[in-house]
Amino acid sequence: MEFENSPQFNTEKQPSTLVVGHTPDKPTSSNKEEVIKIAKDHLKHKALKVKKYFGQLNQEDFDQLLDFDFREQLKDTPPIEGIFSPEEELEKIKSLPREHKKEALATFKKNLTRQRKALATCRIFIERSIEFNHNVPREELLGLFEQFSTQYGFDSKQKQIIRQLIDGYYENHQKVLEIRQQFTDNNELVNYLTGVNIGKNEKIDVSVGPMTIDIDTNGFNSGRLFERADKPVISFKYGGFASESIGENPIYYVVINTDIGTWNNLHDTSGKHRRNHEYEHQKNKLFREVFEHEDPPTELVGYLGNQDTETKKVILENFFDASRSVALENVKDEITASLYDRDLQTLQNQLNYFFFSGKHNEYDYLRYLRDWEEFKHDDKK
């Protein structure tokens, strides 16, 4: 959480706005009440942020904080009137006379920016609600979604994507709850998920996360589980990793090596940092699948055959923005997950190698676009 700077008071004299012979309007009772209410809300908002920082929010506090944050969202990003469908709006603009296109394109870009910000913030609100309460009622998440949709004109396609996001979380959460109920014996559950038979006398703890079954065991068994894992997400290999069960309806699980007490100078005897790292990867995997394009955009809708340079420019900008958003989403996934298991200085020292070294590696998310030859010599763009 970032604390804002303390208020700065300007002690210099300001130009007088008084007019000779004119008496300023006296504040009315309703005005005073409004000012007092705004001040109280501001202080309450700050107090809730402090409680959040120290992990002291209860459910009622969290709901209030989310409500305050939504009001701030409306101030920072003004609402959009009516439904705004980017694809449909572009089609309308293409049929306008040339003299009206410039103004229409300016309005289009303004609304597109607002809506993208709102979609991103809506996702963050949903994430926050899930992280605070893994069993948050579906109706509450749908209510959050409706708040944003009403203010920012989400079209039917965008609404469908957000509903898929919410449904995807509950589907995965319900699966881990049901499998835990089905297999009350830890060893039997681990064997079902991984195919590894761990002896009855060996220490193993199993718990339920938001979308995963969490397995805490020693280094020897962590290694065995890793070797049998199907497509593991490698973070520390034997230190901690995530994978999924084999079959048509896979269940995600996280393995934590309890023999490793520290990692990257972080005291992590409980495995909390490593577990949160894997949670972040699994959560982002789900969100990428249903909320964002899993792969970068490959089409320039409306670009081919269009002869208007201004319209083509906007389409191209929109394509590059979407491609950049997907790349940044991948970068965010790796950075936010890494923040759980290493200190900030270590992560900063690794950023250049991961993303800016110029090497062709798995973290070079925009290499395909830099090397893209299509439309490179289009003189009408």
What does 250-267 look like in DSSP terms, one character per residue? --EEEEEETT--EETTEE
> What was the pLDDT predicted at 15?
42
Q: What is the pTM (predicted TM-score) of this model? A: 0.63
295 falls in which pLDDT band (50, 70, 90)? very low
- Residue 253's beta-bridge partner residues? 213, 243
Higher-pLDDT residue of 373 and 82 is: 82
Find the range with the poorest average confidence among 31-35, 171-175, 193-197, 377-381: 377-381
Q: Kindly report the average pLDDT of the chain as a whole number.
A: 76
Domain map (residue ranges) of the chain:
34-64, 77-345
In 155-251 the beta strands, taken as DSSP E runs, fall at 204-208, 213-217, 230-234, 240-244
Specify the 3-state DSSP secondary structure of 97. Answer: coil
> What was the pLDDT predicted at 91?
87
Query: From CA 330, how far away is CA 292, in angstroms rounded?
Result: 11
Q: What is the pLDDT of residues 138-196, one digit of tens each?
A: 999 999 999 999 999 999 988 988 898 899 889 889 999 999 999 999 999 999 999 99
Q: What is the pLDDT of residues 251-261, one digit of tens each?
A: 888 888 887 65
List the end-to-end C-alpha distance of the chain, in Å, as a whole number.
Answer: 43
> What was the pLDDT predicted at 62?
94
